[in-house]
Amino acid sequence: MKTLAPQWISEHVTRAGMIGCGVSEPGGQCLCQSANELVCPAKTLELILQQIGAAKTPPVTADVPTQWQTWVFAHGKIRSAMRPDGWTMIAVVNAEAVGIKTLDALAASFLALTPAG
């Protein structure tokens, strides 16, 4: 995953409507890339990633695993997804420019990453 994650980020951060995206390792180390450092620096994305990681698990996960979450705000959305191996992704997008289907595809591509070996 350490080699796949940067590639995944660089492939998706240039999508239309993307503010920035990032991933965190199970140990908490983050790798983030902003689409526009003036709007949302990578450091801010790291803080968001840490905040999402610290969020309480929804009380439905005992027998119903969470695939992904979307925090919907007036001007933006934050999609997060956590892999079974503990890697977590976030994508911060413009609310008007990026729809649910795009976010679903984004999260699905992250969850489907298959580390070699």
Partner 1 sequence: MDDDGDFLESVGALFGALSGGTWQIYLATTTDRALEILKDGQIELVVVDIKMPVLDGVQFVGMIQRRYPKIKRAMLTAYASEEKRTASLASGADLFIEKPRTSEGLKSVFAMLGELLQWQSRDGFQGVLRRVGLSDVIQMECLARNSSILEIYNQHVIGRIYIEDGQLIHAAGGDLTGEQALQKLLSLPGGSFELAQFEAPPKQTLSGPWEFLLMEAARVRDEMAANGVPAGMEVDPQTLTAPIDASAARLEETLIAFSSGEMLYESQCLDAPARTTWLQAVVEQAGQLGGILPLGNFDRLEIQLAGGRAVALARAGRLIYVRVSNTLGNA
- Using CB under 8 A as the binding rule, whether residue 69 contacts partner 1 is answered as yes
Stretch that binds partner 1, among 4-12, 25-33, 43-51 (CB under 8 A): 43-51
CA 27 to chain centroid: 16
The least CB distance from residue 114 to partner 1, in Å, is 19
Residue 74 to residues 25, 91, 97: CA-CA distances in angstroms?
29, 16, 12
- Using CB under 8 A as the binding rule, whether residue 105 contacts partner 1 is answered as no
Q: Which helix (H) or strand (E) holds 91?
A: strand 88-94
CA distance linking residue 97 with residue 37, whole number of Å: 19
Q: Which of 36, 67, 86, 115 binds partner 1 (CB under 8 A)?
A: 67
Instruction: Point out which residues bind partner 1 (CB under 8 A).
Output: 17, 19, 40, 44, 47-48, 51-52, 55-56, 58-60, 64-78, 92, 95-102, 104
